[in-house]
Amino acid sequence: MTTPKKHHFLPQFYLEQFKVVPQSGKYSKIWQVEKITSPNPQKASIKDVGCKTDYHTMDLQTKKDRKSIENVFSKLEAKQADIIKEICKTNQISEAAKPSCRI
């Protein structure tokens, strides 16, 4: 597995709920408005939106640790994604899902 450099501060599973349909190209896209540079909406790939290079990187004395925080967030986001998908589908949280809501 490669070391992640592009860290999402807005989870991709969340952005997927706003994707443009029908999909064109390899990756899902959303409409993005860059308020500073141009107020015109443009399609942007979800894999490239809501992220910054090395956003969750810890600068240690001997090296950069790109994995530790990103791995923890990945596990939390996987749980969140399942719950959010369930809520979108059923408009409620099942009793079975409630314990996984707790951190």
Q: H/E/C letters for each residue in 9-55?
A: CCCHHHHHHHCCCCCCCCCCEEEEEECCCEEEEEEEEHHHCCEEECC
Residue 42 token pair: 């443009």
Cα–Cα dist 65/63, whole Å: 6
pLDDT score, position 12: 86
pLDDT, the chain, mean:
82
What pLDDT sits at residue 81? 85
Q: Which helix (H) or strand (E) holds 76?
A: helix 68-90
Would you say the C-alpha torsion 77, 26, 44, 24 has a positive or negative sign? Answer: negative
- Domain positions in the chain are 6-101
* pTM of the predicted protein model: 0.61
Convert the pLDDT of each residue in 32-57 to its tens digit. 887 777 778 888 998 888 888 877 78
Residue 39 in 3-state DSSP? strand
